[in-house]
Homo-oligomer: A and B are copies of this chain.
Amino acid sequence: MSAPLRVESATDAAGGEGAAMMRLIEELYPICRSITGDGLRRSLGIVARDLPLALREVPSGTQAFDWTIPPEWNARGAFIATLDGRRLVDFADSNLHLVQYSLPMDRIVARDELLAHLHTIPEHPAWIPYRTSYYKEDWGFCVSERQARTLTDAAYRVVIDTTLAPGHLTYGELEIKGASEDEMLFSCHSCHPSLANDNLSGIAVAAMLARRLMSAPRRLTYRFLFIPGTIGSLAWLAANEARVPRVKHGLVLSCVGDPAGFTYKQSRRGTAEIDRIVAHVLRHGGTAHRVLPFIPYGYDERQYCSPGFDMPVGCFMRSPNGGYPEYHSSADDLSLVRRECLEESLENLWQIIGAVEGNETYKNLSPKGEPQLGKRGLYRPMGGQQAQDFDQMSLLWVLNLADGDHSLLDMAERAGLPFATMRAAADALAAAGLIAAGPVESRKG
């Protein structure tokens, strides 16, 4: 998969991929998404404008392992007003104001009762928190600490214009078929309302990766899931159990637009090929990064890595969940996401895909002693000079480790060289007839 074509379409004509990703985020930002409902449905429809995304609708009440698809929730409006009708807190100003899945109501509420249903972030008095109550019937408002302090009246009128009724859970699925039935999965939660980095950034980068892949030669089949968190991945898993063993690599994408370094959270296995590939690409990528072991908290990797599936799925982030002050608040807004950070995330993921595609195993066809590279134009002619040419070293490494037991990633790790360099060396040696790719079945991982 060397040098795939870059997509040129109407969407990114103005400013390229980075600008296209930013525009998508800006368009999606104002919409009130949840784990069900029209906001989610409309958002996926926008993503589907540029991609052949299939929108799946799962009826409320459908069983997904230990869970049940909840009723569909839709919010038309909500406010807290003084008894003389002045609106102090209004869903129309920010969809974060309403605790998701709040039940409908319209009544006068005493101050104490109201305060018991108010959520603030005292340490950031200007920010509105993000809260949900999907699986417990409740209501509530999220306001800034400053707003909360002004609520000194004895009672307020509270209006919540929502519906909670049988309907559907919606998710988007895109399959990009490759030569093999083996799959790589990209999954991003798409259920958050006006939060930019978490996770409109993941949606935008995933959509752009999919566009690149559609026009690139590819060995694997790629699957993209745009799903509500937890219940969405459970719904997909429940409907696709037979497909799980085909998924050889996977990444959950989240929070990939902020300027922090990269955070890779390993799969539960910890030594899956994807774990090694991501660590390798980040190590040679030049951006600050860290690799964290799996923990059973976070995003949908929790479901993919549950013991009944134990899929090779890690989580690729910049700032991790809970790891930046603006997390789950109104401060996770458009100003937090930068075009160049989205682009850098995209490029690293593209390198990762390149390694997933190209991680072959080779046999040296001239394994006794070194083959004479000079007569094949692969060696510097003048002996006696000191080695300073990494291309030379990459040729020697590939020849030395092409014993059918080492994947190209194994070689790159042992050589301390970037995968792409080893890939180029292997291509040159294969072209010279000195090595041959082994059968895919014998690959490690």
Identify the A interface with B (CB < 8 A): 64-67, 100, 119, 129-136, 138, 230, 233-234, 237-238, 241, 268, 293, 295-297, 302-303, 305-310, 322, 327-328, 364, 366-372, 374-375, 381-387, 392-393, 396-397, 399-403, 414-415
Contacts and interface: CB of A to CB of B under 8 A. Distances in A.
Given A364-B307, A371-B66, A296 B386 contact: no
A404 B190 CA distance: 34
B135 A372 contact: yes
Contacts of A237: 368-369
Nearest to A380: B136
Contact of A133 (B305, B382, B414): B382
Contacts of A129: 384
Contacts of A65: 366, 368-369, 371
A368 B400 contact: no
Contact of A135 (B119, B132, B374): B374
A66 B397 contact: no
Contacts of A368: 65, 237-238, 241, 306, 308-309
B382 A132 contact: yes
B131 A382 contact: yes
A108 to B, nearest CB: 24
Interface centre among A119, A133, A234, A384 (most CB of B within 10 A): A384
B138 A381 contact: yes
Nearest to A415: B295
8 contacts: A119-B382, A238-B369, A293-B414, A303-B369, A305-B400, A306-B399, A307-B399, A309-B368
A307 B401 contact: yes
B384 A131 contact: yes
A141 B223 CA distance: 62
Contacts of A100: 383
Given A303-B369, A308-B369, A309-B368, 14 more contacts: A67-B372, A100-B383, A119-B382, A130-B384, A131-B384, A234-B369, A268-B400, A293-B414, A303-B370, A306-B367, A307-B402, A308-B367, A309-B369, A322-B386
Nearest to A310: B403
A180 to B, nearest CB: 25
Given A134-B383, A328-B384, A369 B400 contact: no
Contacts of A233: 369
Contacts of A134: 383
Which A-B residue pairs are the 3 nearest by beta carbons? Answer: A308-B367, A308-B368, A132-B383
A387 B67 contact: no
A308 B399 CA distance: 10
Given A307-B401, A368-B65, A369-B65, A131 B297 contact: no
Given A67-B369, A370-B303, A383 B297 contact: no
